[in-house]
Amino acid sequence: MNIEITKREQQHNADLFGGRLHENKPISGHVYSNLLYWAHVEAPEDGEFGMHPHENIEILTFIFEGGLEHFDTATNVWTPLPAGGVQHIQAGKGLSHSEKYKKGSRAFQIWFDPDFEKASIKNPYYKDFQADSFEWVKEGTFEVKAYAGQNAPIKTDAPGISAMRYKIKKGKHEFNFQADSFYSLYLMSGKINIAENKIHTDTFARITDTDTITIDALENSDLFILKSPVNVDYKLASG
């Protein structure tokens, strides 16, 4: 098993708009798989990203707390997305959008490379998935909420993607992985131990080359896991 751990203070951290928003970025610059970017967004105050363009990329925005209002040139309306929802954008030929985060919001925004050559000839697509699109399901020793993937509401153009959130009670838990995939873990709250590595809240871990791991939860914990392929059959924009 290969595991790489990045603590919050080792991630790229930035205060935006005079501190109205804060981002810590587990993925920014050093990309891998078909992942391009990952930001954990917190809003100490209301904060807005003004209109800006995107082409080709695919974006998932997970709203865990607070809420978001979104405007883009594919829909031409402001759309609210409260806590629990997920926004899915396929930029395709190109769109511009703006986002307003409410005070107290917490979110992930993750960008994917779905194959830019194919995406560049597609019309842009936007869809909100409300909180009731997803449910917690008991699975073995933990609860899981499936956002994206084969048996989940969201299907990405980027291949090999699944996004899951786990409620883990204190104790040891077995997870089945696939050795030909990356597993990108973000600990949203709690403390866990993986292969003698103690992981605290807001720590990011990337795991490969294993088909099973044991997670020892040192306290009740909330864990987000994104699965992505080690290899794809198209040229990645990141080279």
**Which domains are assigned to the chain?**
9-133 (2.60.120.10), 136-229 (2.60.120.10)
All residues at 6 or more sequence positions from 83 whose CB lies less than 8 Å from its CB, including other chains: 63, 64, 65, 66, 67, 105, 131
- State the average pLDDT over residues 101-119: 97
Given a cut of 80, whether residue 133 has pLDDT beyond it is yes
What pLDDT shows up at residue 72?
85
The whole-chain average pLDDT of the chain stands at 96
Alpha-carbon distance of 129 to 122, in angstroms, equals 21
Strand ranges of the sheet holding 197-200, from the earlier edge strand across to the other edge: 171-176, 212-217, 191-194, 197-200
Alpha-carbon distance of 86 to 42, in angstroms, equals 16
Which tens digits make up the pLDDT trace of 173-210?
999 999 999 999 999 999 999 999 999 999 999 999 99
Q: How far is CA 145 from CA 28, 182, 203, in A?
A: 26, 19, 20
- State the average pLDDT over residues 17-25: 96
Pair of tokens at residue 98:
């703006």
- State the average pLDDT over residues 101-129: 96
Given a cut of 90, whether residue 13 has pLDDT beyond it is yes
Residue bearing the bigger pLDDT, 182 or 140: 182
Give the confidence band of 15 by pLDDT, cuts at 50, 70, 90. very high
Strand ranges of the sheet holding 78-82, from the earlier edge strand across to the other edge: 47-54, 95-101, 67-72, 78-82
Amino acid found at 207: I
Given a cut of 80, whether residue 63 has pLDDT beyond it is yes
- State the average pLDDT over residues 21-40: 95
Q: What's CA 91's distance to the chain center, in Å? A: 17
User: In the chain, pLDDT over 90 holds for what percent of residues?
Assistant: 93
Give the confidence band of 74 by pLDDT, cuts at 50, 70, 90. confident
What pLDDT shows up at residue 3?
96
What pLDDT shows up at residue 73?
85
